[in-house]
Amino acid sequence: MMTGGPLTARLPFPPPEAATALLEIEGLEVAFRGEAGEVRVVEEVDLRLAPGRILGLVGESGCGKSITARAIMRLLPEPPARVNARTLRFDGTELLRLPERRMRNVRGNQIAMIFQEPMTSLNPTWPVGYQIEESLKLHTDLGSRARKERVQELLRRVGIGAPERRAAQYPHQLSGGLRQRVMIAMALACAPRLLIADEPTTALDVTVQAQILELMASLRDELGTAILLITHDLGVVAEFCDEVAVMYAGRIVEQAPVGTLFARPSHPYTAGLLAAMPRLDAGRGRLPTIPGSVPPPGRRPTGCPFHPRCPRALERCRAAMPPLAPVAGHDVACWNPVS
């Protein structure tokens, strides 16, 4: 758990049934222009996240999760990227229409991101305390002394002892777990309303993973921060998320409350992922696997992109992409769902 005083005074966040969406995405498409022409990487993605909720975005490597996160933050260079959406709205503001100057005021202030690898995300030539302080200098009116005190408060809050000494250290002098905590402190510097965490526990040992995830859950509980958690670990999703969206080949193929999805997966891809999870009661046999791999952008098949790997594929699946539609109480893009 985090220690120290509150980062900022806030009213309790509303319960999910009363909350309006903080982040609304409809029809998000990301494409990249190359020598062979334009290739679509993310297609027709719809997501909705309310204040104080944790949404897990899961799928195999290469399915477009990180690209989706960077598109929300507007961190993809255009060109070569092209980002379109019917709606990409944060707290009622259309992000794609904001001039870059105004977007910089949103980025790092109201929306913050924890990147997948802190060693490459932190500047190796500056002390970590200075890097956290830069965000405060950009987005607040705090003076130099107050900023330094705030940096130490943030480091304490994310569980880093001796914050004055740690603030003066460089990234290479910290362990992977401490660097990830620094990244979280940097993301929290301005008490954002939305935190995007891209594989925040990658390459960390199991104990540190649990501490980082508990820290993020505490942010939601104490501040009402909405969290978009990008991961391939369904065990993490089951324990920490309220809702989950399953992504395959650049599209959302299933979205549901966590309990519903784990109890009654409808898309064959989701069912395959769940079947491949290690279980204590599974005996000593080999785990089931999904044959094949995610098709790369530019070589995705017509129709449903999962049909070459799907045991339930119909002729219709090869001909047309199914829409994301309600099935068994949640949204599924499948012509022949499991349930």
Assess whether pLDDT exceeds 60 at residue 14: no
Range scoring the smallest mean pLDDT among 7-16, 93-102, 256-265: 7-16
Q: Report the DSSP pairing between strands 194-198 and 226-231.
A: parallel
Residue 3 pLDDT level (bands cut at 50, 70, 90):
very low
Pick the closest to residue 256 from 234, 286, 278, 289 (CA basis).
234
- Element holding 213 (H helix, E strand): helix 206-223
Structure-token pair, residue 130: 């200075």
pLDDT at 69: 94
Full-model pTM: 0.85
Q: Say if residue 9's pLDDT is above 60.
A: no
- Calculate mean pLDDT across residues 48-71: 91
23-241 carries CATH number 3.40.50.300: yes
90 pLDDT band (50/70/90 cuts)? very high
Burial class (CB in 10 A: 0-12, 13-18, 19+), 118: buried
List where CATH 3.40.50.300 sits in the chain. Answer: 23-241
